[in-house]
Structure 1
């Protein structure tokens, strides 16, 4: 009997942030369940965090390796300091990653790297291995990033914070978004000077990622079809396979991603509290894994939410508040009547809970697409990167909520929370329900994301078989 051919081997390289690691680990599990051999390469720092949380123990069929990120162990790697990783990793990690790939007993058929880890595309090319790129942002965010240099040349960058033209539409017309994106809505790096290293980094990474053989993106055709079509003018192939978390739930109902344990310790006590609350009565609040709030910002949100007289569940990371070791006692004491303060919560379950009626969010893409899939309207308060684009699209393009970027006063927050939770805007309620249905349908067998995912798997198998044929001839 002939020996069974080995499964195609894929190496996945996420950028070391919670919002990047989570979707790429879900992708790893989906590929593994499709009979592909998967190796995930995390940084040493994040690998230790995953191991501590048991995230690598239950990931059957997935191998985990790690490499250093070039930063000292005591580096915080949160908030604005996470930007240090952008420059340390390409310089320090690239040769180590190349050595790791070169030493593998089973050379990969393909490398899938985070779009801001584009050095992996160079490494793959040097080793004769195909590379695909994964974008953790929306298609709109990806499309805007591909035009940053054009925006610089047109004078739309830098955006001058507080200037009268922040609400003006862009001078350079980005196809498909001509009447949607204002200067205020551009990624926060667009408020920097054109020669700023962070802006130049994003421009260079976007340019380099276009050299990949395909773009994989965590969105779905029914949400962003026109923009996805534009992205196909840049990449040879685009696979819109989101919402990824819903894809996994579709394969295994009532089961979460077995390998995507949070890098932050998760608390589940909030679920019992939610079970005791009336339907659609709770505002869920979370600003993601990296945002930092000043005490002043925190107190404005708190007063606005308390004054709205709505029930709320607020996920507050231990490191959310700048220069504060703990949540202020006055905040804790004043929330006992209608609120519940938690740490890092199981967000997918929270959003899908019947008691939750709305989401006050930073509009990170994971949070946004999880909210869309769960059918929950949003109040967007973005802070940086693509969050500003997402929040604008939530209101202006998709009619899924209210964009309150650059606003942080208690009276506005109180008013907006009431508007959202009381369903005063019927078009938002209608759009939210319809897009939730389309999101769920997209990942079911025959749906757009399911078809795209199967095409991705087939493309990887073809790369594997082509490599085997070439090796046989040699």
Structure 2
């Protein structure tokens, strides 16, 4: 009798490793042996706390320096495939892996696994909405508005997706996007699946049910998220530390002590993730907006961007009042879980979005590229959990200081803020339980439809974020929607491996 033994292969970036490691831990908790595959450089330089998950490694062609030693990201992507496919094939055979779960951008992993007769299951680390856009465009079912002077022109709503302006489409849709080596894999991320294959997404049914419902007409997609370490649905409120179990960047815990001295919901947390670079002009506008908002703030500025940090921010951080703290990296889950944090100024990367929703922290959205603009649209208009800052030019330029100040004040002071301007087209989803035939299982949504004649008050971003936090925790709890989807996937793994 064979036993399911799963190898999980994330893209070798922090934002891709974290959710797949968390998913591997959940597989292991269901009794399925799981291993996480990283590059040799990452395996050597990162301390993993993977629990029952084994950590394996392969070559990316840059074993000594990783991505930072590559001439460009395009060169790194090419080397990763050419070197990685050889060592991956050997590892699959030696490790007796029965299945491979791979990052949906890494088509060569699927080809390698299937060439050895192993089922390969794509795992999307982006929002289901972004994944759906890529799939529908690549299938010829959806077209973005044409390039040019078309401000305000939106695509037709399609299969649960809202109508989108050109700048709201994921940037890899367009061939002039940065990093050409990533454009084709992004567009074709579900095109090479086998008939009957599963597709896993790091989301949950209650959050993106309409988009999931549309995709289910094309292939077997299941939401198994959020893949964020969250307190249990019946959490006692005891102080705990949260971690994925892998950090590619050094974190500074001094910020937790700084937060401990602040009052509840008084601090604005600012972070743009592990890869984004906002530039000197935007950093200046952001600094001016934060200072004008008059709230204490904790700002994560990576070592490579410190030189662009405006001097006046450092001056404020050095004052006795301690109304600002700048760190190179933070334990983000612990920060978002802290009682002092009242708002998250974010680029809207999918991990950061799910983390904020999971811990019930409302957001100010400053999206930059890739899937971030569509995530920001959903944060404001679909989920009501934050407000979007607007650029002077929707498709370019910087977010101005006045706009940032207004948005921070709106969220921190529990005002409707910018979200009110979208009220006529907005549906705020309040998660719960009841009958929904589209999902084929018991789901309840108490929907407050905000149109001109509506009398029911919409929840503030803070209240909406709190409700989504409850929904996220319920989804992964025993019997929740994502837990049921995971059980179904585990049954498939065991049956296809020949377990009895």
TM-score by length of 2: 0.81
Q: Does the C-alpha gap of structure 1 residues 247 and 452 become closer, same or farther in structure 2, counting only changes over 3 Å?
A: farther
In 2: Cα distance, 1:64 partner to 1:294 partner: 36
1:44-72 C-alpha deviation (Å, 9 max, x unpaired): 2222232xxx21xx434322221121347
1:259 is displaced (CA, Å) by 6.3
1:71-115 C-alpha deviation (Å, 9 max, x unpaired): 4745654999545443332233222211221233xx212111111
Q: Does the C-alpha gap of structure 1 residues 259 and 280 become closer, same or farther in structure 2, counting only changes over 3 Å?
A: closer
Structure 2 residue ranges without an equivalent (≥5): 392-397, 417-458
In 2: Cα distance, 1:255 partner to 1:231 partner: 37
**1:92 aligned counterpart, secondary structure:** helix
**2:208 aligned counterpart, secondary structure:** helix
1:192 is displaced (CA, Å) by 3.6
Q: What residue is the counterpart of 2:207 in the other structure? A: 223
Give the structure, 1 or 2, with the largest relative contact order (CA under 8 Å, sep 6 or more).
1
Of residues 68, 88, 111, the one that matches 1:122 is: 111
**1:289 aligned counterpart, secondary structure:** coil
Note if 1:174 corresponds to 2:158: yes
**1:100 aligned counterpart, secondary structure:** helix
In 2: Cα distance, 1:257 partner to 1:33 partner: 18
Contact 1:113 1:132 in 2 (8 A): yes
In 1: Cα distance, 2:71 partner to 2:384 partner: 30
Contact 1:147 1:174 in 2 (8 A): no
Note if 1:19 corresponds to 2:15: yes
In 1: Cα distance, 2:295 partner to 2:235 partner: 35
Q: What residue is the counterpart of 1:472 in the other structure? A: none
In 1: Cα distance, 2:44 partner to 2:390 partner: 35
In 1: Cα distance, 2:338 partner to 2:324 partner: 16
**1:207 aligned counterpart, secondary structure:** coil
| Superposed counterparts of 1:24-103, under 5 Å | 24-50=20-46, 54-55=47-48, 58-71=49-62, 73-74=64-65, 76-77=67-68, 81-103=72-94
Q: What residue is the counterpart of 1:459 in the other structure? A: 492
Aligned residues between the structures: 446
Contact 2:232 2:473 in 1 (8 A): no
1:258 is displaced (CA, Å) by 6.9
**2:100 aligned counterpart, secondary structure:** strand
In 2: Cα distance, 1:120 partner to 1:340 partner: 42
Q: What residue is the counterpart of 1:387 in the other structure? A: 372
Note if 1:411 corresponds to 2:402: yes
Pick the structure with more helix per residue: 1
**1:146 aligned counterpart, secondary structure:** helix
1:148 is displaced (CA, Å) by 2.5
Note if 1:245 corresponds to 2:228: yes
Q: What residue is the counterpart of 2:359 in the other structure? A: 374
Of residues 168, 172, 194, the one that matches 1:185 is: 168
Q: Does the C-alpha gap of structure 1 residues 445 and 111 become closer, same or farther in structure 2, counting only changes over 3 Å?
A: same
Q: What residue is the counterpart of 1:235 in the other structure? A: 219
**2:189 aligned counterpart, secondary structure:** helix
**1:319 aligned counterpart, secondary structure:** helix
Contact 2:20 2:227 in 1 (8 A): no
Note if 1:305 corresponds to 2:290: yes
In 2: Cα distance, 1:28 partner to 1:349 partner: 21
1:14 is displaced (CA, Å) by 0.6
Note if 1:201 corresponds to 2:185: yes
1:427 is displaced (CA, Å) by 3.8
Q: What residue is the counterpart of 2:126 in the other structure? A: 137
**2:24 aligned counterpart, secondary structure:** helix
Contact 2:280 2:309 in 1 (8 A): no
In 1: Cα distance, 2:181 partner to 2:203 partner: 29
1:362 is displaced (CA, Å) by 0.8
Query: What's the C-alpha RMSD, in Å, of the aligned pairs?
Result: 2.9
1:319 is displaced (CA, Å) by 2.5
Q: Does the C-alpha gap of structure 1 residues 257 and 21 become closer, same or farther in structure 2, counting only changes over 3 Å?
A: farther
In 1: Cα distance, 2:84 partner to 2:155 partner: 37
**1:226 aligned counterpart, secondary structure:** helix
Contact 1:442 1:448 in 2 (8 A): yes
Contact 1:210 1:235 in 2 (8 A): no
